[in-house]
Amino acid sequence: MRSLIITCMCAVYTFFYLVQIGQARPVKRYDERTRMCRFLADGRLDWESEPWGTGGIKFREVCKSCHHRNNNKGATFIHAESYTSKAWNSIFTKRRKKCARDGSWNVLSEDELQMVNDYLYRNGDWTYDPNSADSCG
């Protein structure tokens, strides 16, 4: 019985390990609105799609101004890992969430929205990979 439990646990750990390898941080993002491929690990976008770049800064300045913990704006708590990269892309492509429709996103320019999308896409759920040089900086 005991060895069976250990075998099962090993299988589970191996599974999550393999899932993680398969889910390294994305290096490019296809943007359906502009129909362009954005290279997130190169040049200017490499900087802008990180927490210290325009994407991360605007996410905290604008989105988090409502979506912080215990806010009184009726907004759920949201951080980069609240959604997967794919889900973030869909949120920014459709722009059908309440705040996107009521104009709360309008303080951001198209360019800035793209970079917030880049940042969330690059740092979304399942993107952290301790074995990738990209995660080490």
Q: Which is nearer to ligand HEC, 38 or 67 (CB)?
A: 67
Q: How far is CA 114 from the centre of its chain?
A: 12
Distances (CA, A) of 70 to 3, 19, 128: 46, 33, 26
Closest approach, Cβ 133 to ligand HEC, in A, equals 28
Q: Which is nearer to ligand HEC, 40 or 108 (CB)?
A: 108
How many residues bind ligand HEC (CB under 6 A)? The answer is 17
Q: How far apart are CA 112 and CA 94, in angstroms?
A: 16
Q: How far apart are CA 125 and CA 26, in angstroms?
A: 11
Q: Whose structure tokens read 């996103």?
A: 105
Site string for ligand HEC, 60-99 (x = CB under 6 A): --xx-xxx-----xxxx-x------------x-----xxx
Chain residues binding ligand HEC by CB under 6 A are: 62-63, 65-67, 73-76, 78, 91, 97-99, 104-105, 116
